Chain A
Amino acid sequence: MNSPFALLSLIVAVPFFGMLFVLSSKDAKGALPGRNAFNVCVFTIISNIILIWRIFMILNEKSASLQLIERFDWLNTPNIDIVLGVDVFSLLLILAVHLAVLIGLFGVSANTFRQKSLMVFTLLFLSMITGFLVAADIFSFYIFFEAMLLPLFMIIGMFGEVRKQGLINRFFLYNFIGAIILFSATMLIFYHRGSTMLADVGSISFPAPLRYYIWGAVCLSFVSRIPVWPFHYWISSINSGIRNPLAFIITALLPLTAIYGFIRFLPARLPLELGDYIMYGEIIAVVTMLFIALIGFTNRDYQYKIFAYVTVYYILYLLGVFVNDELIMTSIGYSLFCFLIIMASLEVVSGYIYHKEQEAQCVSNGFLCRVKRLSFVYSFITVAAVGLPVSAVFVNNFLILSRLLGFNVKMGVLLVLSLAFVGVTLIQELLRLKQDSKECRLGKNDDISKPFFAFMLFVIFILLMSFVKPLWFVASA
């Protein structure tokens, strides 16, 4: 199916043009700095969500292949075209990323520190990640895969913690190495086969030494973006150091690109020689999961706890990807959709509590006993985050885990143990906020505003509906 009105290009372009509008925006006299930029950003994202919804309506949800193909001539010699296309999986992720960023925007609505710059780089990132998720050829895939690092680099530079110089060094080090090796693998694939379509990559058979290099390079470049040991350290230090909810959400979306990369690149049948290496990779991944879950359980910093939660779930999805099963891929898509929304909501409400705590210069223990609206939202998000049946995460994680348990029961046990640890960690945080303390000076007036509450109720509605039917917003579903 070809795309009417170049819809896919449009959803990549809208955030980019939104960014240009933000750049040219000026604040009215007396308004908060960056207010206009914020409004433009929100409007842009909502517009794009409507477009995405429109694409869902014309997409054949039962087809597993890429649809709405758009082809643009780029180079004649060598013959390289830029091709865009989507399936339900990638479109779900695009929608989830937009919703996560929208939730993040509500978390920084009162922010006045470099608001305009944040909006500019947020929209640029959104444009790039959308481009990455609709890329159907290896070159556009590579270009967008690397291009999204620029806004990320700027965001970390602006909103990172005190040691941000070191963080940026690490960010550059890992991603630069990843970029070089992925570039070499991309060139080798093109040189060897001449085909640039992502869908063909999995079916290409390479000679033995080259096969090792290409798949090794692809895996290494993707893994460098997932918090798997020893690559977890740069992501953990960046995530735990950022106190701006939107910046945190954007950096926490980076591992998603790696998981998506694995899904698009992995061959339908893994070469036998890779089996052993993948097994070692899985062992490292499971140990990392347990390791980070344990650290999250111990650490008192809420940001690290959320990082531990995010990491454990990303690794679960990564392991699910290696099962290479059609049902599991669908489950990962549905689960990731809710997971990203939950992660963003959790970060925003936790960030809100942290900022209130900083303003009042007191502990937030028992804060939730005094604020009804925030208490409801926080409790619900925690219940959803730990995997109880209030969102699509529950059913789909059950399916992913069942496959992983069927594949290797010992690994499955460790996975569930890690999930238990992060679940307990989040519940612990919820109970801390519900245990009343005299030292807490926050009161009823510190509750979230009614518009914010209404928005969070809408988010909760989305999660609940996703539990009933994952594609509830599509008329034919």
Chain B
Amino acid sequence: MILQLFLGLVLIALLFFIIGQEKRRRVWSVLLFGAVLGLLYAFFEQINAIGISNVMYDWIPHHTLHANLSFAAAGQTSACLRVMSLCLAVLVYLNIIYRHEEYSLYINNFILLNFAALIILLSARDLLQLMIGSCCFTIIGFYLINDVAAKTKFIFYNFLAELAIFMSLAVVYANLDTASLSALPKYLKAGHHKDLVSMLLLGAVFTKCGMFLFQNQLIGLKQLTFNRLMTVALFSAPLSGVIIFARLFPLIRVSEYAAPVFALIVGLSALWAVGGALLADSLKAKILYLNMLFYAFVLWQMWDNGAVFFDKLIYLYPSILGIFISFLFVSVSASDESRLSQMGGFARRLWLDLALALAAVFVFLGGFAKSFDVAAVWIFPTVFLSVCAVILRGVFGGQSRADERVEALLKNVGLWYWLPYAAALGWLVGRFGLWKTETVWAAFGVFVVLMLLAPVRPFLKLAAAERLQNGDFLHRVYLLCLIMPLRLLGRVLWLAIDFVVIERSIIGSISHSTAFVVRFLQKIQNTYWVNYLIMALFGMAVILLNLGWYYHE
């Protein structure tokens, strides 16, 4: 079953790559959407009936390296796939109706492949499959991004992260002589270079999740359209990062340096994300900073127990996606304006958008309360929703700052947007009984009050600060401290070693000495009496030396 789903997704994607045409993209996309829904429905029907699906392909049967490709849907994996299927359907549908997506079919194909990569990663039982799954996310992410600057950052950061994973797992394999994930406890007991492995993996996870020092690869996505940036930021490399964290969590924790480094980076990431989400003017940038905050929370939660991702955290994805989509609705309603400084006072005209945003917040609160002990982790929803409140206040509250064009064309999102969205939120509320909890209502009340009172002006004042909004501080630091010196070193090595040492000294001296020997030989063969004398003396010297050697022996 799981193999059928995997192959089905890959085949649908490939088929639509080949036969799909961009001229009638919506028609093709609808066909694709139907095919995917059918495939997912058939899969979950069977899973509901049987409960488990395992397939194993004997990939490398060498006696010193036995690696399998396994596909499994049971327990945690199955639950994870259910949640992600919902998100997949939402994203595919969104790409069909979002008018700014020129290549909806193309992006939908990659979303299907991304889901297939998720199956590989979730089913991994050995190191090789884990790496393959992770790399697939990087490759697919590369194609999902259509802005070269964002693509550049994404691929460089993720490529280096892949190499870090590759190297750390190579060290583990060198110690274990088996690629099986179940053998990791042996490495923890008697393995070498644990600090190196731990730090490399931690660095890779931070890079993939876009944590502090590595956030550029995700923040750079603000140049993309809403649908693409949400897909990449929420479901591409960062998702693979947290799954790797969950699967290799004992290896990461093994070093004594891991805990302080982890706490420092995750803490700084959260602070940076909150600051960025408040100060950024663009709604897209705000989404990306909120995404960073979410992943900081995910990693923080997983530090004590990696499995919490599959038990609890995975259920937050639909509600986070819901909040991000509500921001997209605002932009669609405001003629694609995405700057907060050009919005404000939209509550009356965009009442439906506001209602949908509030519904998304409610679902988020309900989902969170259902999965977590709010008293223990109150800080994340508080901070996350406070930032959301400021953003929504900036969009819907106060005086309008929109220009005439935006003001004139303001209208609630169309039926194709809001109806499925409202239906999905309604289904979530009804299915999980989110409306039954009093705490959720109380928290929602607080959110509404906060939204009414949230200060926006101080942040809006900074909207015009070009350096703050578009400056890439970290990129400059890397350029100055890392890339420039490396380029300089490369240049110097090339000029100094290749040209001066080898070309001029070694090869030059060999050429000159050959020429000298040739000249010398030519000279002594000239018909001058001095040459005869020298040659005769040389011959006598050789004879004398031989004689001396003979008598000495």
The chain A residues found within 8 Å of chain B, CB to CB, are: 169-170, 173, 229-230, 233, 236, 291, 294-299, 327, 330, 383, 386-390, 394-395, 398-399, 401-403, 405-406, 409, 412-413, 416, 419-420, 423-424, 427, 431, 434-436, 468
Q: Which of A170, A299, A388 contacts B135 (CB 8 A)?
A: A388
CB pairs A–B below 8 angstroms (26 shown) = A173-B507, A236-B498, A295-B498, A298-B491, A299-B490, A387-B166, A388-B135, A388-B139, A388-B162, A389-B135, A398-B131, A398-B170, A398-B173, A399-B65, A401-B166, A405-B171, A406-B171, A406-B174, A413-B167, A413-B196, A416-B163, A420-B160, A420-B163, A424-B159, A431-B151, A435-B148
A295, B148: Cβ atoms under 8 Å? Answer: no
Specify the chain A residue showing the minimal Cβ separation from B511: A169
Specify the chain A residue showing the minimal Cβ separation from B497: A291
Q: Which of A236, A298, A395, A403 contacts B174 (CB 8 A)?
A: A403
Measured in the bound complex, the distance between the Cα atoms of B134 and A389 in whole Å is 10
B60, A431: Cβ atoms under 8 Å? Answer: no
Give the total number of A-B pairs whose CB atoms are below 8 A apart: 112
Residues 450-495 of B at the A interface (beta carbon under 8 Å): 486-487, 489-491, 493-494
Q: Point out the residues of chain A lying under 8 angstroms from B498, CB to CB.
A: 233, 236, 295
Residues 296-337 of B at the A interface (beta carbon under 8 Å): none
B171, A431: Cβ atoms under 8 Å? Answer: no
- Describe A's contact surface by its main secondary structure: helix
Measured in the bound complex, the distance between the Cα atoms of B498 and A229 in whole Å is 9
Asked if B64 lies at the interface with its beta carbon under 8 angstroms from chain A, I say yes
Q: Which of B62, B132, B163, B502 contacts A419 (CB 8 A)?
A: B163
Q: Point out the residues of chain A lying under 8 angstroms from B196, CB to CB.
A: 409, 413
Specify the chain B residue showing the minimal Cβ separation from A290: B493
The verdict on A398 contacting B156 (CB below 8 Å), with A230-B506, A327-B62 known, is no
B110 to chain A, nearest CB (A): 13
A402, B503: Cβ atoms under 8 Å? Answer: no
Asked if B175 lies at the interface with its beta carbon under 8 angstroms from chain A, I say yes
The chain B residues found within 8 Å of chain A, CB to CB, are: 59-60, 62, 64-65, 67, 128, 131-132, 135-136, 138-139, 148, 151-152, 155-156, 159-160, 162-163, 166-167, 169-171, 173-175, 192-193, 196, 486-487, 489-491, 493-494, 497-498, 501-503, 506-507, 510-511
A302 to chain B, nearest CB (A): 16
Q: Point out the residues of chain B lying under 8 angstroms from A327, CB to CB.
A: 62, 64-65
B170, A405: Cβ atoms under 8 Å? Answer: yes
Additional 4 contacts, C-beta under 8 A, given A229-B497, A298-B487: A233-B498, A295-B498, A389-B135, A402-B170
The verdict on A434 contacting B151 (CB below 8 Å), with A389-B131, A398-B128 known, is yes
Measured in the bound complex, the distance between the Cα atoms of B498 and A393 in whole Å is 30
Q: Point out the residues of chain A lying under 8 angstroms from B156, CB to CB.
A: 424, 427
Measured in the bound complex, the distance between the Cα atoms of B187 and A402 in whole Å is 14
A290 to chain B, nearest CB (A): 9
Measured in the bound complex, the distance between the Cα atoms of B128 and A236 in whole Å is 35
The verdict on A295 contacting B493 (CB below 8 Å), with A388-B162, A398-B173, A431-B152 known, is yes
Q: Point out the residues of chain B lying under 8 angstroms from A419, CB to CB.
A: 163
Which of B174, B193, B491 has the largest count of A CB atoms less than 10 A from its CB?
A: B174
Measured in the bound complex, the distance between the Cα atoms of B143 and A434 in whole Å is 12
The verdict on A395 contacting B128 (CB below 8 Å), with A294-B486, A294-B489 known, is yes
Measured in the bound complex, the distance between the Cα atoms of B139 and A383 in whole Å is 8
Measured in the bound complex, the distance between the Cα atoms of B163 and A129 in whole Å is 34
